[in-house]
Structure 1
Amino acid sequence: MKRVAGRYVVTKSHDESVRAFVPEALPPHSPEIQAECWTDLSRRAELAIARLSGMSGLVTSGEWLIYSAIRKEALLTSQLEGTQATLIDVFDDEAGISVTNSDDVEEVTNYLKAFKFAREQILSPTGLPVSIRLLTQAHEILLAGVRGAAKSPGSVRTSQNWIGGTRPGNAVFVPPPPEIVPDLLSDLELFIHSKQATLPPLVRIALVHAQFETIHPFLDGNGRIGRLLIAMLLEEWKLLPQPLLYMSGYLKAHQTEYYRCLSELRSNGDWESWILFFLEGVEIAAEKAQQSIIQIASLIAADRKKVLTMSSSTLQTLRLFELLPVMPKLTVERAQSELGVTFPTANAAIKTLLQAGILIETTGKQRGKSFVYKAYVDLLREE
């Protein structure tokens, strides 16, 4: 029996009548989703997430784990929307080094700010839970001062939008009319916080993400907020103690299939294929994140030994080294500021790390030099 995922309604937009899709409330029904097709994969994905959760106890600082994971997610989720910024661009911007594509970098930076804000809210006893109100506030931060800034940041849309094509009439997909969106979001929020949930949490996250993307409640930024929602639920539902999973890497690598599965569930009610795709992505992304943590931890441990064996090493040298995983691109001025020391002391610490082969000078200039923890950055860029 074919499942009906929603209904089409005729709405007026841009002086033409178009058929907009209105999804059924979650969970899928008539028939209910077939658990036997994803039970094994769901178990494997949960185990991969559990193993990833345990990785934070193997390293001396969880801060650099979060730093690298969030930046990879911010970069990749922005690249899915066409942003051309690179990881080096992001690190340069953080170091106060000018970048040529500042607009694209600002979009990535805004995502980092939105992610930080949302995480602070869900972790605070007095903060907002995962909710439409929280998503709209994160959306306002995401679009502040960048492309999309004129498209009602922080507000649920009051006009018709569309995906693909030049107008609703030739679009690939037309989301629900604006007057229906508030009720659909309310239903989605009820599903997120339902106390009668019987589906595994990762399956529920798959459903929530797809439903959010189908509703498309904003005029811009829906993809990034929808993927942020995945990270938020993983942490709020205590599947991960820290945001170590960067799903956007998998979604970007399988972008065509990502969009095809979303299209199929709307057209044919094929929620099962989407759930399988999503669970496989969680398993692969979690295993990749584990491997990355092991590689980075091994590199940092080996380089720390180098620092400790250098005769010119001082306490400030070691302090600077310990900062490198969250400050992989730097200038002497930045090192001076972070360490709270004089310029000569910061310069001496950098010089020792250069001699150890840990830092590399990137400009070739006598003045205005910048430095990079190249081996570390190379590991991050491999992904």
Structure 2
Amino acid sequence: MSESTGAASPRDWAPHVAEARPWRQRTPQGPKADRELREIVVRRPPRITSLDFPVDRPLRVTMNNALANLAQLDQTHGRKLGALDQLLLRTESVSSSKIENIEASFADYERALHGMRANASARSMAASTQALAGVIADAGECGQVRLEAMLRAHYLLFRHHPTMHEKAGHLRTVQNWIGGSDYSPRGALFVPPPPDTVPGYLEDLFAYANRDDVPVLVQAAVMHAQFESIHPFTDGNGRIGRTLIHAVLRRRRATRYLSVPIASGLVARRDRYFDALGEYREGRARPLVGLMTHATLIASHESRRTATRLHEVTVEWEDLLGGPVPGSAEYRLARLLVSEPILTVDLAAQRTGYSGVQLKLAMERLEAAGVLTRSGRRVRERTWSAQAILDELQDLTVRIETVSRSA
């Protein structure tokens, strides 16, 4: 199936409408041209609650294949390998952050997840994971994609941010824009609708997201694109918008246990992804629907390989440890590492139920066997990592990106 974003392709519905609005800069900063700007042009998207996207046969076949692969992974491995969801969720958060040029190593990111010392990018990724998990859980439990869950996700993403914490969880009350100047919408690539229209647009958006008569991947792609056009927050719209993709998949029961790293496929084709969002604003949804469908198909396939690899790693560890007794400290530690590849003593004690000498001996045994690697000189900063799991996480991302670029 072609994902061409050619301008000659027919429109699926009305394009965003350009509307002139008066503008006056709030603070006298930046170039003179910014300070003298008196009018801007915003783009107002159509209401989508009752819109239907025409799905041709080739696209429908590909969407069905993607959903079948997703369901097979979810049912086969999601039910039996609970740790897989945690790892896929983290891979998705890392890739979604990379789209926004926020990058950190998996090791730094894992440390940030557990409240250990890490750089700002890693802490931001950890917050993104909390936001993503919350939105997905809420959609699964409530059977709805809810505004309240979206606001909560934004709060989790920015509650500790040095400059955004006061705006965490709140819709924007000012005009924002994408690209161009830092001081005004002069030369912007896209200017979203005015802030007073945001609540109405979101009401329309969530009504669409909770329909049951729309193909699920179309619904996920269109909701995401419409959200990005509304741009309801001062910052964080890209990451929050991509969490909504998974909220739709969970609400429609396309997934029940897992959240595959779709963003890994999108970050590999970042320019095409942004172009597809631009096409959506011109009334052409098909490029983004196609891109999302392919990303889902590839992420599901590669995640199944990761599930197999995780099983192989646990078997290798058992051989290295000489077959640990089920329920023993060594056994529980090895099982824990699949979902928590970086541990502190406190976390290991909390999650295994062992402490003191028994836990210390078990961790030393795993370290001696090559399962764990110790790092950090100071006791309070000391961690143990399962490099085999961290390597697989990195490899999963690389595989999805490589296949996506060649597709």
> TM-score, structure 2 length as denominator?
0.83
2:48 to 18, 21, 26: 26
Q: Are 2:342 and 2:384, in contact at CA under 8 Å, matched by a contact in 1?
A: yes
Alignment deviations for residues 276-314 of structure 1 (CA, whole Å, 9 cap, x no partner) = 111111111111111111111221123223324379x98
For 2:268 and 2:124, how far apart are their aligned partners in 1? 20
2:208 to 173, 191, 200: 191
Matched, 1:43 2:60: no
After the TM superposition, which residues 168-183 of structure 1 pair with which residues of structure 2 at under 5 Å, given as runs? 168-183=185-200
1:154 counterpart letter in structure 2: G
Alignment deviations for residues 45-95 of structure 1 (CA, whole Å, 9 cap, x no partner) = 112212222232674x41x11211111112221222222222100222345
1:372 to 385, 393, 396: 385
For 1:321 and 1:123, how far apart are their aligned partners in 2? 30
Q: What is the CA-CA distance between 1:208 and the residue it aligns to?
A: 0.9
1:219 counterpart letter in structure 2: T
For 1:366 and 1:65, how far apart are their aligned partners in 2? 30
1:117 counterpart letter in structure 2: G
Q: What is the CA-CA distance between 1:231 and the residue it aligns to?
A: 1.0
Matched, 1:246 2:255: no
Q: Are 2:310 and 2:338, in contact at CA under 8 Å, matched by a contact in 1?
A: no
Secondary structure of 1:25's match? Answer: coil
Partner of 2:299: 285
Q: Where does the alignment leave 5 or more consecutive residues of structure 1 unmatched?
A: none
Q: Percent identity?
A: 25
Q: Are 1:314 and 1:349, in contact at CA under 8 Å, matched by a contact in 2?
A: no
1:161 counterpart letter in structure 2: N
2:133 to 116, 122, 126: 116
Matched, 1:70 2:80: no
1:341 counterpart letter in structure 2: Y
1:244 counterpart letter in structure 2: S
Q: Are 1:65 and 1:244, in contact at CA under 8 Å, matched by a contact in 2?
A: no
> TM-score, structure 1 length as denominator?
0.88
Q: Are 2:95 and 2:264, in contact at CA under 8 Å, matched by a contact in 1?
A: yes
1:353 to 346, 366, 383: 366
Aligned residues: 372
Q: Are 1:55 and 1:293, in contact at CA under 8 Å, matched by a contact in 2?
A: no
Partner of 1:92: 111
For 1:119 and 1:58, how far apart are their aligned partners in 2? 17
For 2:163 and 2:50, how far apart are their aligned partners in 1? 32
Partner of 1:270: 284
Select between 301-310 and 160-169 the one with higher mean Cα deviation: 301-310
Q: What is the CA-CA distance between 1:182 and the residue it aligns to?
A: 1.7
Distance 1:221-1:368 versus aligned 2 partners, 3 A rule: closer
Partner of 1:105: 122
Partner of 1:296: 310
Partner of 1:136: 151
For 2:247 and 2:267, how far apart are their aligned partners in 1? 19
Q: Where does the alignment leave 5 or more consecutive residues of structure 2 unmatched?
A: 1-9, 26-36, 398-407
1:286 counterpart letter in structure 2: S
Q: What is the CA-CA distance between 1:149 and the residue it aligns to?
A: 1.5
Q: Are 2:139 and 2:146, in contact at CA under 8 Å, matched by a contact in 1?
A: no
Partner of 1:161: 176
